C-alpha cells in the first residue's frame, strides 16, 4: 500500500511538472510551482526527486532497466541483433503506448540542454547494464572484451536516433518501423561477436 501511494505521488508530481513545463517552458517553472500544482509541499517534492530535471527524466528512467530485463529474458541462442532489437523495442513500445505524453516528454528532454544532459547521464548507466548483460549472455569477460560495451553503445545510439526522429516528426513517424530500420543498419556489426 505504501509503495502504491508513493507511486501515485510520484506520478502526480511528474504530471504536474509536465503540464507546467509544456505551458511555460523549462526555465520558467519553479519547484515551488510544481509542488503546488501537485498539491504537495516543496519538502515532499524533494522526498521523491532530487531536482526539477529528475522529475521530467523519471518518465524515461525505467526504459534502461526494461532494456536490460528484456535482453536477459531473450533465448540464449538468439542472435545479438535480434535480442537487442527486442530489448529496444520494449522501451519504444512503452513510449508509443503513452504516445501523447511520451512525445511531450521526449521533445522537452531533447530540446532542453539541462534535461538532455541528465538523460545522457542515465544512458551511461544503461550502457553499463546492457554491456554487463551482453557479456553474461555471451560468456565474455566484461572487463576485457570490447564487444559488450561497443554493442551497447551502438544500441543506445540507435535508440537515441529513433527517439529523435520520432520526436522531430511530432509522432508522425512509426517508432516500430524506425527501430527496425535502425537495427537493419547495425545488425551486421552486432552479430559480428569477436
Show the cell assigned to 47.
Answer: 522526498
Residues with Cβ within 8 Å of 112's Cβ and at least 6 positions away in sequence, in order, are 26
Confirm or reject CATH 1.10.357.10 for domain 52-190, answering yes or no.
Answer: yes
Do the domains spanning 1-49 and 52-190 agree at the CATH topology level? no
The pLDDT value recorded for residue 99 is 66
Q: What is the pLDDT of residues 74-124, one digit of tens each?
A: 999 999 999 999 999 888 887 766 667 778 888 888 888 888 888 888 889
Among the residue ranges 85-89, 90-94, 125-129, 171-175, the one predicted with the least confidence is 90-94
Show the cell assigned to 45.
Answer: 517534492
Helix 99-111 with 147-168: angle, nearest 10 deg: 110
* Maximum Cα–Cα distance across the chain: 54
Q: Report domain extents, the chain.
A: 1-49, 52-190
CA dist., res. 140 & res. 145, Å (int): 6
CA dist., res. 129 & res. 162, Å (int): 20
Number of helical H runs and strand E runs in the chain: 9, 0
CATH fold for the domain made of 1-49 = Arc Repressor Mutant, subunit A (1.10.10)
Torsion of CA 80, 134, 129, 61, to 10 degrees: 20
Q: What is the pLDDT of residues 3-60, one digit of tens each?
A: 788 888 888 888 888 888 877 888 889 999 999 999 999 999 999 998 888 887 776 6
pTM of this prediction exceeds 0.85: no
The owner of cell 526504459 is 63
Q: Where are the alpha helices (DSSP H) in 25-79?
A: 31-38, 42-48, 52-73
Q: How confident is the model at residue 194 (pLDDT cuts 50, 70, 90)?
A: low
Amino acid at each position: 500500500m505504501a509503495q502504491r501511494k508513493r507511486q501515485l505521488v510520484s506520478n502526480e508530481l511528474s504530471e504536474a511538472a509536465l503540464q507546467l513545463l509544456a505551458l511555460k517552458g523549462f526555465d520558467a517553472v519553479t519547484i515551488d510551482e510544481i509542488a503546488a500544482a501537485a498539491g504537495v509541499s516543496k519538502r515532499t517534492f524533494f522526498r521523491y526527486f532530487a531536482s526539477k530535471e529528475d522529475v521530467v527524466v523519471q518518465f524515461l528512467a525505467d526504459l534502461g532497466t526494461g532494456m536490460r530485463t528484456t535482453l536477459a529474458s531473450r533465448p540464449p541462442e538468439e542472435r545479438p541483433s535480434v535480442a537487442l532489437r527486442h530489448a529496444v523495442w520494449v522501451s519504444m513500445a512503452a513510449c508509443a503506448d503513452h504516445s501523447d505524453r511520451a512525445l511531450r516528454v521526449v521533445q522537452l528532454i531533447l530540446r532542453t540542454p539541462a534535461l538532455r544532459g541528465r538523460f545522457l547521464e542515465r544512458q551511461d548507466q544503461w550502457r553499463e547494464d546492457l554491456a554487463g548483460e551482453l557479456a553474461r549472455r555471451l560468456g565474455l569477460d566484461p572487463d576485457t572484451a570490447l564487444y559488450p560495451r561497443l554493442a551497447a553503445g551502438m544500441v543506445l545510439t540507435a535508440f537515441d536516433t529513433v527517439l529523435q526522429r520520432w520526436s522531430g516528426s511530432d509522432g508522425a513517424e512509426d517508432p516500430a518501423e524506425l527501430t527496425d530500420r535502425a537495427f537493419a543498419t547495425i545488425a551486421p556489426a552486432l552479430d559480428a561477436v569477436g
